[in-house]
Amino acid sequence: MKTTTTLLLQGLWLAGFAMAQDSSSSQEVRTLSGSDRRLTSEVSQVTLPSDFEGSSFATGTMSMSGVSVSTGAPNTTASMSSTSKTNTLTQLVGGTPTTLNGTASSTSAAPQPSNTQPCNNYPEFCTRKYSNITEVCAHNSPFAVKRNVGSNQAYGVTAQLNDGIRMLQGQTHDVNGTLHYCHTSCDLLDAGTVEDYFRDVTNWLQSNPFEVVTILVGNYDYEKKDDNGNPLVTSKNYVDPIEKSGLMPYIYQPPKTAMEVDDWPTLGELIISGKRVIMFIDYNYDTDAVPFMLWEFYNMWETPFSPTDINFPCTIDRPDGISDEKAKKMLYMANHNLNVEVSIGSLSLLIPNTVQLNVTNGLNGTGSLGLQSNRCTDDWGRPPNFLLVDYYNEGSFNGSVFEVAARANNVTYDRECCGTKSLAAPILSGPSAPFLGLVVAVAFSLFL
- Residues with active-site annotation: 139, 183
Q: Is the separation of the CB atoms in 380 and 327 below 8 Å?
A: yes
Helix (H) or strand (E) holding 159: helix 157-163
- In angstroms, rounded to a whole number, what is the distance separating the alpha carbons of residues 134 and 164? 12
Query: Percentage helix, strand, coil, to 5, in the chain?
Result: 25, 25, 50
Q: Which amino acid is located at 70 in the chain?
A: S
Q: Is the separation of the CB atoms in 428 and 148 below 8 Å?
A: yes
Q: Which amino acid is located at 297 in the chain?
A: F
Let me know if 20 is exposed, middle or buried by CB neighbors in 10 A (0-12, 13-18, 19+).
middle
Q: Is the separation of the CB atoms in 208 and 33 below 8 Å?
A: no
> From residue 299, how far is each of 122, 161, 218, 259, 339 by CA, in Å?
25, 23, 15, 6, 27
